[in-house]
């Protein structure tokens, strides 16, 4: 009775392995050969004696795609005759297909071992692989040649290709053939096609493809890995530079680094629904945003809505008018009133986007609803996209990314750090997909956010621009060139004190008095002066610990504490309530540090959740967080 192998009750792969245990050699004719599928047979093939021929021969057929076949039949054409030239073209295409197989999927140790085994078997002649290019071949035949005179061979025919799925997964149907006459005819059929002049060897090229892949025996040069990663990570930038031109009306006014930003941002906006330009202050984000709007207006007929702080409305109106960008400007403080009835704008530019770092804000909700309802593309502009915490970034991205959308990447660091791995992390995310923005919101790992922002954020500093985009003039000073050819020099910065006269009766007089400034200067800040609490003369034998102690001493001499005082001066010049809120919060934080020192407890350092201080500080405005920037710069951990 024949065996029915449906990969449900009986598996073709298991049956083959049992038969190969008592076989001398093996032949396979298949329409598709998945290289990773060889891992199911590699060890069994090693155990075959071979007896004067290759232990295993694999004949791969060429197939015609359904659409190509339909077009050929509709045109009444017979299959094209094959000569050596077309056979060689088929061989190259097949080898390219093998190479592409090696570029797909996540490499595993099992796959690596199987591919190395296949290369070794090809190199020592144990395995031969040919492409039957004479005509279409979609057969699925496996022949196990045995030394048993009563049953010299066992055949298997059916629907299973030489792949992991074909040998092990349901959806296939095969049967065994043991009759001597039938298996002899199958063997003759195989030999005729194996020895056909248009059955061309591909095993050497296959071995070379494996040797050039991640499965190679020799370790790859780390620099090549770096280049590969850089190539893929820069895909958006490279494609943007090629895909988009510049608006003719603005080309002469853009510097090279601004022109690159326009093209790259336009590519990300159109490809991912939104982008963020986070260049530092003074690099022309407003001009870049305007150029993106003009570019998408010319390319796609977009009209633009600009949402910005009230004090920037006039500036943006001037830019849109000057560069003939169709659209309107609305103040962030008015979006909740004006957007519900506003006409559709295909592009929304949000200037000073860091103001929308809280999804509960009224303006955030209004903008998010407008963008969603109108399927608008979004361009965010901010020199400080990250201020208080990583949640700032999530809130801004949430303007155009649905919380459950598949982002194509996961917060890998956070998942790896979770005690219960991916399943536990997903449970904590209330079932949200691990590739969603909702999953990233739970990650406190900076590396996870860097990976995510690499898809959306473009940020350059002045030093980066000077290093990569400038040239030196006759005097050695660096300059940039406008599209018109005119040179541009960054201004040289010189700090100049500005004296401000405050009348004695003004409420600000006390705030700006020498007495107030002296009090701030004399503040003791134990949280930022931990070096003062080290035992005098103590040196550690551990190099890392000693480096940490020296850092603490440096901080105490002014780096951290001085920066904190500067932030207090800024808050003082901003407003009295802002300064008092900052002072209350610093007092509480330093009291906590002193308590830890007195009680011999670990001193809390690093970012601190602002919610922990709200009861005491009693602040409400987003603008009152005096040391948000400072906390973001502190090292993580406790000690």
Query: What confidence tens digit (pLDDT) does each residue in 578-593 have?
Result: 788 888 888 888 888 8
Using pLDDT thresholds of 50, 70 and 90, give the confidence band for residue 171.
confident
Would you put residue 151 in left (φ > 0), alpha (ψ -120 to 50) or beta?
A: beta
Mean pLDDT of 320-343: 93
The vertex-447 CA angle with 446 and 449, nearest 5°, equals 65
> pTM value?
0.58
* C-beta atoms surrounding 342 within 10 Å: 13
Q: What is the pLDDT of residue 19?
A: 94
Q: What is the pLDDT of residue 319?
A: 94
Calculate the CA 455 to chain-centre distance. 6
C-alpha span between 167 and 172 (Å, rounded)? 8
- Please provide the size of the chain in residues: 639
Q: What is the pLDDT of residue 630?
A: 31
Q: What is the pLDDT of residue 45?
A: 94
The greatest distance separating any two alpha carbons of the chain, rounded to the nearest whole angstrom, comes to 117
Q: Which of 294, 269, 114, 127 is nearest to 201 (CA)?
A: 127
Report pLDDT digits (tens) over 332-371.
999 999 999 899 999 999 999 999 988 888 999 999 999 9
Does the pLDDT value for residue 18 go beyond 80?
A: yes
Of 159-173, 185-199, 544-558, which range is least confident?
544-558
Burial class (CB in 10 A: 0-12, 13-18, 19+), 619: buried
C-alpha span between 561 and 627 (Å, rounded)? 11
The answer to whether 131 and 60 have CB atoms below 8 angstroms apart is yes
Determine how β-strand 347-351 pairs with β-strand 304-308.
parallel
Does the pLDDT value for residue 443 go beyond 70?
A: yes
C-alpha span between 388 and 575 (Å, rounded)? 20
To 10 degrees, the CA torsion angle through 579, 585, 590, 591? 120
SS3 content of the chain, % helix, strand, coil (to 5): 50, 15, 35
Q: What is the pLDDT of residue 135?
A: 84
Does the pLDDT value for residue 536 go beyond 90?
A: no
Q: How far is CA 508 from CA 514, 515, 518, 575, 594, in A?
A: 12, 13, 16, 9, 33
Using pLDDT thresholds of 50, 70 and 90, give the confidence band for residue 242.
low
List of domains in the chain: 4-211 (3.30.870.10), 232-401 (3.40.50.10810), 403-445 (no CATH), 508-633 (no CATH)
């Amino acid at each position: 009775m024949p065996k029915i192998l449906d990969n449900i009750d009986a598996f073709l792969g298991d049956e083959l392995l049992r038969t190969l245990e008592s076989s001398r050699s093996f032949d396979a004719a298949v329409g598709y050969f998945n290289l990773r599928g060889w891992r199911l047979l590699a060890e069994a093939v090693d155990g075959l004696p071979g007896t004067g021929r290759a232990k295993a021969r694999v004949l791969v057929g060429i197939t015609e795609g359904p659409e190509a076949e339909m077009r050929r039949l509709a045109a009444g054409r017979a299959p094209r005759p094959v000569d050596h030239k077309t056979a060689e073209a088929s061989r190259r295409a097949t080898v390219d297909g093998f190479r592409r197989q090696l570029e797909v999927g996540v490499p595993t140790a099992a796959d690596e071992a199987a591919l190395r085994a296949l290369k070794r078997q090809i190199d020592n002649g144990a395995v031969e692989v040919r492409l039957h290019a004479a005509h279409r071949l979609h057969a699925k035949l496996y022949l196990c040649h045995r030394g048993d005179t009563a049953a010299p061979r066992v055949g298997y025919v059916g629907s299973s290709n030489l792949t992991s799925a074909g040998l092990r997964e349901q959806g296939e149907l095969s049967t065994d053939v043991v009759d001597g006459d039938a298996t002899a005819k199958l063997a003759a059929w195989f030999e005729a096609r194996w020895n056909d002049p248009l059955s061309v060897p591909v095993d050497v090229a296959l071995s070379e493809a494996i040797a050039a892949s991640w499965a190679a025996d020799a370790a790859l040069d780390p620099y090549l890995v770096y280049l590969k990663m850089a190539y893929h990570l820069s895909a958006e930038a490279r494609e943007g530079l090629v895909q988009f031109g510049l608006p003719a009306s603005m080309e002469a006014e853009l510097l090279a680094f601004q022109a690159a930003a326009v093209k790259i941002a336009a590519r990300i906006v159109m490809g991912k629904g939104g982008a963020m330009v986070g260049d530092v202050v003074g690099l022309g984000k407003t001009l870049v945003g305007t150029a993106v709007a003009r570019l998408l207006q010319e390319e796609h007929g977009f009209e633009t809505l600009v949402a910005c702080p009230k004090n920037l409305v006039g500036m943006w109106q001037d830019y849109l008018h000057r560069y003939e960008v169709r659209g309107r400007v609305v103040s962030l403080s008015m979006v909740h009133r004006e957007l519900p009835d506003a006409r559709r704008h295909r592009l929304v530019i949000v200037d000073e986007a860091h103001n929308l770092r809280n999804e509960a804000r009224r303006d955030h909700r209004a903008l998010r609803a407008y963008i969603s309802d109108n399927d608008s593309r979004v361009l965010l502009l901010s020199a400080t996209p990250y201020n208080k915490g990583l949640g700032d970034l999530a809130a801004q991205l949430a303007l155009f990314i649905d919380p459950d959308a598949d982002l194509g990447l996961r917060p890998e660091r956070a998942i790896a750090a979770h005690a219960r791995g991916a399943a536990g992390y997903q449970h904590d995310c209330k079932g949200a997909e691990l590739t969603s923005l909702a999953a990233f919101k739970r990650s406190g790992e900076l590396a996870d956010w860097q990976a995510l922002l690499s898809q959306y954020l473009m940020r350059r500093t002045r030093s980066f621009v000077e290093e990569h985009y400038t040239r030196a003039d006759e005097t050695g000073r660096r300059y940039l060139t406008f599209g018109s050819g005119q040179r541009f020099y960054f201004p040289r910065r010189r700090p100049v004190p500005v004296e401000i006269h405050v009348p004695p009766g003004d409420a600000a007089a006390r705030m700006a008095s020498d007495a107030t400034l002296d009090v701030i200067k004399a503040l003791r800040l134990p949280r930022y002066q931990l070096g003062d609490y080290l035992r005098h003369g103590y040196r550690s034998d551990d190099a890392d610990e000693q480096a940490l102690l020296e850092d603490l001493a440096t901080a105490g001499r002014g780096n951290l504490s001085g920066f904190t005082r500067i932030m207090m001066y800024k808050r003082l010049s901003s407003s009295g309530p802002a300064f008092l809120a900052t002072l209350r919060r610093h007092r509480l934080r330093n009291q906590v540090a002193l308590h830890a020192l007195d009680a011999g407890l670990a001193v809390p350092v690093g970012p601190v959740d602002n919610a922990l201080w709200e009861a005491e500080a009693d602040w409400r405005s987003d603008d009152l967080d005096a040391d948000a920037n400072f906390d973001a710069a502190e090292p993580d951990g406790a000690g």
